[in-house]
Structure 1
Amino acid sequence: MLIDRFFHGPVSAYPRDYPAGAHQVLHSHREAQFLYAACGTMRVVTAQGAWVIPPTRGVWIPPLVEHEIFMVGEVHMRSLFIAPALCPAGLQQCCVLAVTSLLRELILRAVQGPQQAENPLIQQLMLEEISNLENLPLHVPMPEDRRLQAICLALLRRPDHPYTLEDWALQVGASSRTLARLFQQELRMNFNTWRQQLRLMEALPRLLAGDSVQQVAEVLGYGSARAFSAMFQRLLGDTPRNYVGTLNQLSEIGSIR
């Protein structure tokens, strides 16, 4: 389903709040969309993969990409719609981006009304900031090969599944070497990295909901909270407690706008 938007210049801004469990059905836009979670967590799903967007982070969705959005908890969504001709270079695929303090303030200003959103200075600054944001590993791509699909779907249903690639090879009727090659060829990452990113995606909503690091580690199949924390810090650059604490602080700021 293609949804048309009435454009106010090169960038339009729209605020919308959703209750927990809300769902936007599969749709697309002629323009690019930058989704910002001022409060709450979103999951964006396309035919190519899934992305989790914690509060104060954003997801870039290129023009005409069909996607659906699931709300995890109450969500304060702040959307920017950007003319295709102005899309920053290097953003041809969906990705989760670390929103800077400046961009957050610009987005919150833009959604206050058309006069703010149509301000050329605000629009230019938003485009400049988006083009330089850090890409975060909060994404799991989906393969086309049926054997990889069987593995990935099984892990999506059960992220704590203990099978190694050698174990999966016996299940799907392919050698572990073939599976390893296909992971690199189709998904541009190895099996362990894909599984780690899936577990990271599953961990964030649980941590933001108040589960302890130990509880999340056990649910996701880690032998200890220390092993889980090491993976988390390697991928996101901070400990689970510090990272979630920062997100919660920024979310409180965004929720009062």
Structure 2
Amino acid sequence: MRLAPLRMADPVHRRLIGVLADQVVALPDAPLQLPAPLDPRAVALATILQDDPGDTSSVSVLAHRVGASRRSLERVFRTDTGMTVGQWRRRLRMLEALRLLAAGMTATAAGARVGYATPSAFGAAFRAELGATPAHWFSQ
């Protein structure tokens, strides 16, 4: 099978390129991306969470630690990252869990390390975030 090059001079090709570009733009975020915040308070929070993904402190407690109100912190975090603090924290935890699982840690131990109280809570969060169980993720 040989593919012909697309030529912008050809109106059909130009339309096809436009449709493809529209489809790429409409793709949802990849589940393994973790957008970085820009606001100094949000950066401080992200640093705290990255230093200890298993930290189970409430957003209110974390906001106090970075010198912001919970509402202000939630607002700037969503503006900067497109995610709530809870969504961002869960994504961070899943990325750390993937690293731990890839290093050979059991799902139960990885889940506990990243802040989940039970294996079932970790499994449910993992499936919700990544679309598969930890065992299925690594069997692919």
Query: What is the TM-score with the length of structure 2 in the denominator?
Result: 0.78
Q: 3-state SS of the aligned residue for 1:167?
A: helix
2:9 alignment partner in structure 1: none
Q: 1:230 to 1:159 in 2, by over 3 A?
A: same
- Is the 8 Å Cα contact of residues 217 and 225 (structure 1) preserved in structure 2? yes
- Is the 8 Å Cα contact of residues 136 and 236 (structure 1) preserved in structure 2? no
The number of residues matched between the two structures is: 123
1:111 alignment partner in structure 2: none
199-208 or 134-143: bigger deviation: 134-143
Are 1:89 and 2:59 counterparts? no
Are 1:196 and 2:128 counterparts? no
Measured on the aligned residues, the alpha-carbon RMSD in Å equals 2.3
The 4+ residue runs of structure 1 with deviation greater than 4 A are 132-135
Q: 1:184 aligns with which of 78, 103, 127?
A: 78
- Is the 8 Å Cα contact of residues 45 and 63 (structure 2) preserved in structure 1? no
Query: Map of 1:1-40 to 2, 5 A cutoff?
Result: none
- Is the 8 Å Cα contact of residues 144 and 186 (structure 1) preserved in structure 2? yes
1:67 alignment partner in structure 2: none
Deviations along 1:58-117, one digit per CA (max 9) or x if unpaired, are xxxxxxxxxxxxxxxxxxxxxxxxxxx9xx52657xxxxxxxxxxxxxxxxxxxxxxxxx
Q: 1:143 aligns with which of 31, 34, 37?
A: 37
2:12 alignment partner in structure 1: none
- Is the 8 Å Cα contact of residues 139 and 198 (structure 1) preserved in structure 2? no
2:63 alignment partner in structure 1: 169
| Aligned partner letter, 1:177 | R
- Structure with greater proportional helix content: 2
Deviations along 1:25-84, one digit per CA (max 9) or x if unpaired, are xxxxxxxxxxxxxxxxxxxxxxxxxxxxxxxxxxxxxxxxxxxxxxxxxxxxxxxxxxxx
Are 1:226 and 2:123 counterparts? no
Q: 1:244 to 1:163 in 2, by over 3 A?
A: same
1:152 alignment partner in structure 2: 46
2:135 alignment partner in structure 1: 241
| Aligned partner letter, 2:134 | P
Q: 3-state SS of the aligned residue for 2:21?
A: coil
Identity of matched residues, %: 34
Query: Map of 1:103-142 to 2, 5 A cutoff?
Result: 135-142=29-36
Alignment partners' CA distance in 1, 2:126 and 2:87? 12
Unaligned runs of 5+ in 2: 6-16
Alignment partners' CA distance in 1, 2:126 and 2:96? 12
Q: 1:211 to 1:147 in 2, by over 3 A?
A: same
Deviations along 1:226-249, one digit per CA (max 9) or x if unpaired, are 111100101122111111111xxx
Query: What is the TM-score with the length of structure 1 in the denominator?
Result: 0.44
Unaligned runs of 5+ in 1: 1-9, 11-84, 93-131, 247-257
Cα distance, 1:144 vs structure 2: 1.1
